[in-house]
């Protein structure tokens, strides 16, 4: 028979299995807890993907940027200098015309008649002038004859051959003949003056006749037709058409007055280049600075400049707004970095520099000026150094990085 102690140690087989499973779970739980604690003690370092740019030394222009407005090189408002019926229009709206091309025809018939009338009046007065000159020549001869006879009668009267009365008659005849010549000279002068007046009238009539055909005063492009064929126009009344010269063309833009001294100093060394970029993204146009205004605008503190452009491809159009870039001069050995690398913090501007162990350091920099997607560094960087251009939000000094070609590929 078994004792009481022996009976207490005997357990069913199912209970034994449960005890074994429990012990195994306890062991596994203990191992997992140990591994978790060990993982917390040694975290995995995160590697941040970034894009990298290089600091280089190269020539860089010093530029002033502004918003410009395109202005026609010349604008002409065409008006009629005479009145009459507009009988013909030689162009279509928006057409390019050259200097001297016919634009409008005004009915010339009334002005043809004015020319013929002036020519007839001139012929009449020329004939009268010729007649007056002939009369003058005749009366001059008669006056000379009367004068000779008066002198002869004076001698005869002194000798007592003729009477004093005859002598006085001869002197009176000579004086009358002299007065006739004076009257003839006045008639000749009057006839000549009338002829000269007729000449002026004829010249004006012919000039008015030429005004019947209105020609383009410049090379340019026509605008909207304001008076159509068949209308009656008055002299110097309303515009018939407006012509803009677009080759060459101006671009007006303003820069801060503080840069006026730099502009004047660099203009003294040669022509300054101006580049403009249309708002529609078209190709840039190149020109030169040709005008500096004579005063600074007190309300804005800016001064207006004007560039001249050949505009051969007609990229620029009057009234268009463009981005204007004035190049003052070029610095030959400038230290240049990508503008995307520049960050701004509480202490000012800084960049992340790539170290040899693929980590980054923060370094303060001073930017001199910006040109497009690049900046000229005044201090803080050296040529050959590499800087982070994208992905800075994930970085702190000492962060480990991985260079990628683009952040879009790294995040996808």
- Residue 301 has a pLDDT of 94
Domain covering 50-60+333-411 in this structure, CATH number: 2.40.420.20
Closest to 321 (Cα-Cα) out of 66, 94, 63, 64: 66
Domain covering 80-102+216-238 in this structure, CATH number: 2.40.50.100
Q: State residue 394 phi and psi, 5-degree precision.
A: -90, 0
Domain 64-74+245-330: CATH superfamily, name plus number: Efflux pump adaptor protein, beta barrel domain (2.40.30.170)
- Residue 5 has a pLDDT of 41
- Residue 4 has a pLDDT of 42
Specify burial of residue 72 (Cβ count, 10 A radius: 0-12, 13-18, 19+): buried
- Residue 6 has a pLDDT of 43
Task: Please give the average pLDDT of every successive group of 10 residues along the chain, which has 412 residues.
Answer: 42 52 57 52 74 93 92 95 95 94 96 95 90 82 76 74 74 79 85 91 95 96 93 93 96 94 92 91 90 94 96 92 93 92 92 91 91 90 94 90 78 53
- Residue 57 has a pLDDT of 94
- Residue 72 has a pLDDT of 96
292-329: string of b/e by CB count within 10 Å (b at 16+)? eeeeeeeeeebbbbbbbbebeeebbebebebebbbbbe
Neighbours of 190 (CB within 10 A): 14
Determine if the pTM surpasses 0.95: no
């Amino acid at each position: 028979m078994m004792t009481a102690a022996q009976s207490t140690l005997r357990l069913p087989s199912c209970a034994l299995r449960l005890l074994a499973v429990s012990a195994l779970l306890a062991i596994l739980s203990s191992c997992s807890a140990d591994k978790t604690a060990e993982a917390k003690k040694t975290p995995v370092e995160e590697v941040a993907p970034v894009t990298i740019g290089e600091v280089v030394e190269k020539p860089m222009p010093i530029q002033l940027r502004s918003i410009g407005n395109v202005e026609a090189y010349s604008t002409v408002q065409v008006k009629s200098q005479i009145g009459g019926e507009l009988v013909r229009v030689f162009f279509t709206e928006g057409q390019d015309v050259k200097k001297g091309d016919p634009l409008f025809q005004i009915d010339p018939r009334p002005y043809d008649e004015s020319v013929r009338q002036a020519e007839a009046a001139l012929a009449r007065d020329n004939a009268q002038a010729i007649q007056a000159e002939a009369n003058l020549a005749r009366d001059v001869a008669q006056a000379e004859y009367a004068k000779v006879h008066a002198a002869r009668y004076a001698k005869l009267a002194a000798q007592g051959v003729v009477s004093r009365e005859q002598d006085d008659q001869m002197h009176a005849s000579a004086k009358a003949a002299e007065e006739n010549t004076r009257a003839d000279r006045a008639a000749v002068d009057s006839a000549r003056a009338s002829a000269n007046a007729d000449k002026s009238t004829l010249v004006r009539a012919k000039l008015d006749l030429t005004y019947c055909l209105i020609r383009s005063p410049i090379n340019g492009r026509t605008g909207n037709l304001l008076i159509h064929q068949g209308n009656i126009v008055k002299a110097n009344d309303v515009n018939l058409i407006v012509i803009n010269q677009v080759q060459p063309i101006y671009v007006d833009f303003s820069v801060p007055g503080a840069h006026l001294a730099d502009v004047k100093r660099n203009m003294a060394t040669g022509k300054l280049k101006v580049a403009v970029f249309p708002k529609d993204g078209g190709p840039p146009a190149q020109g030169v600075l040709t005008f500096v205004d004579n005063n600074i605008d007190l309300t804005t503190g800016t001064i207006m400049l004007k560039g001249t452009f050949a505009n051969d491809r007609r990229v620029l159009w009057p009234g268009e707004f463009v981005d204007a870039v004035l190049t003052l001069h070029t610095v030959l050995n400038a230290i240049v970095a990508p503008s995307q690398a520049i960050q701004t913090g509480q202490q000012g501007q800084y960049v992340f520099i790539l170290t040899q162990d693929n980590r980054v350091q923060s370094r303060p920099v001073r930017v001199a000026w910006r040109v497009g997607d690049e900046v000229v560094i005044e201090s803080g960087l050296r040529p050959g150094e590499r800087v982070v251009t994208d992905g800075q939000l994930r970085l702190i000094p000492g962060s480990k990085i991985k260079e990628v070609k683009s952040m879009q590929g790294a995040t996808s």
